[in-house]
Amino acid sequence: MKLLDLKAPKTTVEPRPARQAPPLAEFELPLPAPLAGYGSSALFSLHGRQDGPLIAVLGGISADRFPAFCPDGRPGWWRGLAGPGCAVDPARHRILGMDFIADPTGARAPATHEQAAILCAALDFLGVERAHAVVGASYGGMIALALGQHFPERVERLTVVSADAQPHPASTAARELQRRIVALGLETGDPDEALSIARGLAMMTYRTREEFAERFEGGIPSEQCLDRSEPGAYLRARGAAFVARMTPQRFLSLSASIDRHKVDPARIRVPALLIGADSDQLVPAAQMEKLAAAFGGPAELRLLASLYGHDMFLKDSDRVSALVDPFLRKAA
């Protein structure tokens, strides 16, 4: 697999001295020529203690560069794992967040090692030879694994939550159906509704039947074929929220990027903590066990019983944080 040379100019903006840096800083790096199809630049955030060990925090394809805090002070997308008193704590760490690169036309999918290369470019910009850790969940966990294989000298340890060396065939099948729906929506002039439906289908793979049984009544209330059920109303709401922050083209690019992902765990020798959910449909526990067994370096696997399936890392983030915290505190 050919890797990219990221010795392009890092930025035209000089970083501020540490004493002047705001609590939440943002910076932008131009993409090198081989990645020009994925936009002109990549966006990052940096938050926390200026002299603390740097930890990159990466999530699913809908995550943004604000894992701990948003610019307006609201908690970021991984509350419970990144934030005050959490395993990744701005009082102790420098927290690096990243917006993933994607094809704005929706035609091409970046590889996870290309996302990892962009992360390395951010480390170069910050003058960091090795990150203390990368904590990645779902798509972000795939990027962490790619970093561990292709750029092992850039990170001391990996935390990988609900991600494997390559996608499960059934998970690829579900995502391909979602992409076909979105592509059809683009062709027929209703991309937002198509993206909303695709997100609803995705939610059915993220969560569990047991959670749906606890929260909703099944069935529809009338003879009208398109009458809304309780779970259907929930999925419509989640779809609308997704449409508000994700374009159909970006979704196509990043969804396909998941299915391009492939690493050789035997070549990953960076110490790793692997965390999975026993109820995960997308990355089943058996996959996490196989990954741990194939790891080239020391790998500790922890499987959590969870009602929330693949979304365990978000819904049970306090439990994930309790596992991650001692791992991050270990001496390198």
Judge contact between 160 and 144, C-beta under 8 A: yes
Report d(CA 248, CA 104) in Å as an integer.
Answer: 9
Q: Give the whole-angstrom CA distance, residue 183 versus residue 202.
A: 16
The single residue of 103, 280, 311, 316 carrying the catalytic annotation is 280
Site of tokens 């904590």: 135
Of residues 119, 140, 139, the one with CA closest to residue 130: 119
**Catalytic residue flag (residue 41):** no
Strands (E), the chain: 24-30, 41-48, 54-58, 94-98, 133-137, 158-161, 272-277, 299-304
Catalytic residue among 62, 138, 196, 279: 138
Concatenated DSSP letters of 25-73:
EEEEEEPPGGGGGG-SEEEEEEEE-TTSPEEEEE--TT--S-SSB-TTS
Burial 177-191 (b: 16+ CB within 10 A, else e): ebbebbbebbeeeeb
Which listed residue (132, 150, 261, 310) is catalytic? 310
Q: Is 310 a catalytic residue?
A: yes
List active site positions.
Answer: 138, 280, 310
